[in-house]
């Protein structure tokens, strides 16, 4: 088994500004309904939680190594489990790239503090072969 690791760091302020400037358009372009729901508190949408999910999407892209293949943000979804842990669900082109890479499992860890959010994704891969052109 081969491993791939992706990591990303995101400014919470940048996400806060995107929500303020673009509102619902930004949210629906980048996040699933479930991600927005999981990032909403009684005070509204929490930019720290959104930033952690954005970092997770970026870290996942680093694991998938899409090259010139366009991956929509919503094809990578961060799931929050009942015990508070998080996981990833891939769809469309993201799922296809994972299958082509022989990715059998993805593990995710996210955090946010001091104005930043970070995520680490680790993938188990059956092989390191890539499709031509990727």
pLDDT per position as a tens digit, 14-55: 999 999 999 999 999 999 999 999 999 999 999 999 999 999
- The CA distance from 12 to 114, in Å, is 9
| pLDDT over 70 (residue 127) | no
**Is the whole model's pTM more than 0.85, yes or no?**
yes
The residues that bridge with 53 in the sheet, in sequence order, are none
**What confidence tens digit (pLDDT) does each residue in 103-116 have?**
999 999 999 999 99
Q: Please give the domain boundaries of the chain with CATH numbers for all domains.
A: 2-125 (3.90.470.20)
Confidence of residue 132 (pLDDT cuts 50, 70, 90): very low
Residue in this structure with the two tokens 């508070």, named with its chain if needed? 84
Q: Cα-Cα-Cα-Cα dihedral of 24, 120, 103, 90, to 10°?
A: -10
DSSP 134: -
pLDDT at residue number 126: 86
**What confidence tens digit (pLDDT) does each residue in 56-85 have?**
999 999 999 998 889 999 999 999 999 999
With beta carbons less than 8 A apart as the criterion, state whether 99 and 129 touch. no
pLDDT at residue number 100: 93
Element at 5 (helix H, strand E): strand 2-11
């Amino acid at each position: 088994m081969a491993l791939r690791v992706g990591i990303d760091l995101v400014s919470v302020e940048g996400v806060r500004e995107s929500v303020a400037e673009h509102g619902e358009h930004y949210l629906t372009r980048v996040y699933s309904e479930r991600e927005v729901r999981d990032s909403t508190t009684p005070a509204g949408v929490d930019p720290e939680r959104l930033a952690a999910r954005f970092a997770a999407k970026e870290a996942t892209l680093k694991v998938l190594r899409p090259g010139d293949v366009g991956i929509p943000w919503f094809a990578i979804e961060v799931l929050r489990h009942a015990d508070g842990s998080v996981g990833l669900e891939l769809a469309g082109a993201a799922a296809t790239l994972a299958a082509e890479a022989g990715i059998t499992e993805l593990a995710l860890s996210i955090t946010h503090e001091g104005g930043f959010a970070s995520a680490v994704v680790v993938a188990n891969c059956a092989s390191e072969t890539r499709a031509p052109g990727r």
